[in-house]
Amino acid sequence: MSITAGIVGASGYGGTELIRLLAGHAQIDLHTIAAHSQAGKPVAALFPNLVDSGTFDAVEPEKLASLDVVFLATPHGPALELGALLYDAGTKVIDLSAAFRLSADDFLQWYKQPHPRSDLAAGDSNANNDVVYGLPELHREAIAHAKLVASPGCYPTATLLGLSPLTGLIQPNTIIVDAKSGTSGAGREPNDGQHFAHVDGNFTAYGAPSHRHTGEIERWLGADVGPISFTPHLLPISRGILVTAYATLRDGVTQADVTDALTDTYRDEPFVHLLAAGTFPHTKAVAGTNACHLSALVDPRTNRVVVTSAIDNLGKGAAGQALQSANIMCGLEETLGLTTIGLYP
């Protein structure tokens, strides 16, 4: 008896990656692939890899509410509305946007609009118990009982997996996150900045110092570490994020302490792989997967730790992690439909 699922915003990169993953999932049946702007068009006209996926559906809230689980892969605007509607209807929701990740106050600060439902804002003290920030490695238990999962952003996922186990070892106000992402993180909408001839052979920073993921990282790392510097950059690759994070260590903290903290946290995690200190993760090694490759290196000369963390921004950074949460919420094997072996070379 399989689980029925739907995707809204299926014509974006997060949505199409969910179509790809669910096509190989043994226990979830994809009933609806809704895309407001593309309804009626063949999926393969936009995504030539998905040749047997039929046409995009219209967004029909009542039909969606009748499914077991709905993935929202829209921008946060539509997600705020549809997520609330489905949650109130009792449908399990996994939202890939920022709509439900922060507190209402933080949402106002970083997204410049009031949050309509602080009870559904996972980062808010008023949030319902079944509204959860969906980073399974840190919040697995809560996800298992969640009705609404706010699936983390791509940069926060890579950053939090790297830094969360180390917050007790580092000095406040010293975290710097230098992040690099492939272009699919910017979405499917064509624009000058994503045009091949501009990105190819090019590299640039953007969005600093007020990129919205800054607030999400700070919220979920915890208040004790202080404000962080966060600078995203655009890589000339389609998929992949590498985060290089720096922090000054508390007195006496050694490489062994850092390694132990990470090992203890991730020993049994199926999707997190620790590399030996001094080796560094490759984005391509996790292309197409739900894996995160992590490395942490202590430099005694500067008393800093350098954490490097690689994910596929569409995998562990979006669709993969959303599916991982769906598996947990639905009582399925957590790894179903997900891989850890990247398409390399």
Active site residues: 154
Q: Which stretch binds a copy of itself (CB under 8 A): 138-146, 153-161, 239-247, 255-263?
A: 239-247
Indicate which single residue of 171, 282, 335, 336 sits in contact with a copy of itself (rule: CB under 8 A): 282
- 56-64, 97-105, 139-147, 335-343 -> range binding a copy of itself (CB under 8 A): 335-343
Question: Could you write out the DSSP letters of every residue in 201-263?
Answer: T--EE-STT--THHHHHHHHH-GGG---EEEEEE-SSSS-EEEEEEEEBPTT--HHHHHHHHH
Half-sphere exposure of 322 (CA within 13 A, CB side): 35
Q: Rounded distance, CA 264 to CA 82, Å?
A: 39
Q: Which structure tokens are listed for 7?
A: 């995707």
Binding to a copy of itself by CB under 8 A, coded x per residue (else -) over 190-229, reads xxx-xxxxxxxxxxxxx-xx-----------------xxx
Round to whole Å and give the CA distance between 327 and 9. 20
Smallest gap from Cβ 273 to a copy of itself, in A, equals: 5
The answer to the question of residue 49 lying near a copy of itself (CB under 8 A) is yes
Whole-number Å distance between alpha carbons of 190 and 183: 11
Residues 60-79 that bind a copy of itself (CB under 8 A): none
Residue type, 62: E
> Which is closer to a copy of itself, CB of 9 or CB of 342?
342
Q: Please, are residues 125 and 105 in contact by the beta-carbon 8 Å criterion?
A: no
Q: How far is the CB of 49 from a copy of itself (least distance, A)?
A: 4
Min. distance of Cβ 26 from a copy of itself in angstroms?
Answer: 11
Of 148 and 247, the one with the shorter C-beta distance to a copy of itself is 247
Residues 8-47 that bind a copy of itself (CB under 8 A): 13, 16, 20, 23-24, 46-47
Contact 336, 26 (CB under 8 A): yes
Which one of 51, 129, 251, 267 is in contact with a copy of itself (CB under 8 A)? Answer: 51
CA distance 224 to 171: 9
Question: Degrees (nearest 5) of the Cα angle 316, 318, 323?
Answer: 75
Min CB(253)–a copy of itself separation in Å: 15
Is residue 343 close enough to count as binding a copy of itself by CB under 8 A?
A: yes
Choose the binding region for a copy of itself from 73-81, 87-95, 230-238, 316-324 (rule: CB under 8 A): 230-238
